[in-house]
Amino acid sequence: MLDYERKHFKDISKIAGLDEAGRGCCAGPLVVACVIMPENYTNNQINDSKKLNPNKRKQLAKEILENAIDFSIVFIAAPEVDKLNPKQASKEGMFRCINNLKIKPNLVITDFEKIPNLSIKQVNLVKGDELSFNVACASILAKVSRDEYMINLGNKYPNFEFEKHKGYCTQLHNSKIKEFGIIQGEHRMTYKNVNQCLKIFINKHIKN
């Protein structure tokens, strides 16, 4: 049971948890989610999204959305991630998420990162998605939202098989860039592996 809020902030209502997905990917958006869950809502199955299988994440995401007091999901596209860098893009996404909420939280809990220029009290927890119920809920929403985006991208560009690697810097993904090049607006051009693989793709086509 993730009970950080109940242990440390039992007298505070409307606590927002934030987390992101896709920060380390070299293609696709960085997705940030923010959610305020009711204080009396419990679900022992909710955990850090990385510890759940895809079907369980989707099931729990549905339950979270049905029970949330308020939530917000922000997509930061690859070109903006390149412009800001992944760390700053995460902070910017969190700031936008909070501003998009209809209900103002009394406390914000993040997975480590501090949100700049935020007037609301915030707690920045190391491994927040393993300690805070609200952060774990946000982690699930962010991961499910991003996975759905990447699956749709895979349907649009079947050669890249995004549904398998979700845009992470895997051997399969690198091999696809070497074979097919990049997708403008989806691949992150500040990532070393993208440029190295793109160079191989270009050289191969120049020779041919």
User: Could you give the percent of the chain with pLDDT greater than 90?
Assistant: 92
With 90 as the cut, is the pLDDT of residue 38 above it? yes
Contacts 24+ apart (CB under 8 A), 44-49: 44/1, 46/2, 46/133, 46/136, 46/137, 46/140, 47/2, 47/130, 47/136, 48/129, 48/130, 48/136, 48/139, 49/19, 49/21, 49/129, 49/136, 49/139, 49/140, 49/142, 49/143, 49/144
Q: Which two tokens stand for residue 25?
A: 């990917």
The class level of CATH for 4-154 reads: alpha beta
Arithmetic mean of pLDDT, 149-177: 98
With 80 as the cut, is the pLDDT of residue 48 above it? no
d(CA 30, CA 34): 14
Arithmetic mean of pLDDT, 167-196: 98
pLDDT band at 63 (very low <50, low <70, confident <90, very high): very high
pLDDT band at 1 (very low <50, low <70, confident <90, very high): low
d(CA 59, CA 67): 13
Arithmetic mean of pLDDT, 119-136: 96
Is residue 11 annotated as involved in ligand binding?
A: no
pLDDT of residue 208: 61
With 60 as the cut, is the pLDDT of residue 143 above it? yes
With 70 as the cut, is the pLDDT of residue 111 above it? yes
Is residue 19 annotated as involved in ligand binding?
A: yes
Arithmetic mean of pLDDT, 185-206: 96
Residues of the chain with CATH 3.30.420.10: 4-154
User: Could you give the percent of the chain with pLDDT greater than 70?
Assistant: 98
Is residue 82 annotated as involved in ligand binding?
A: no
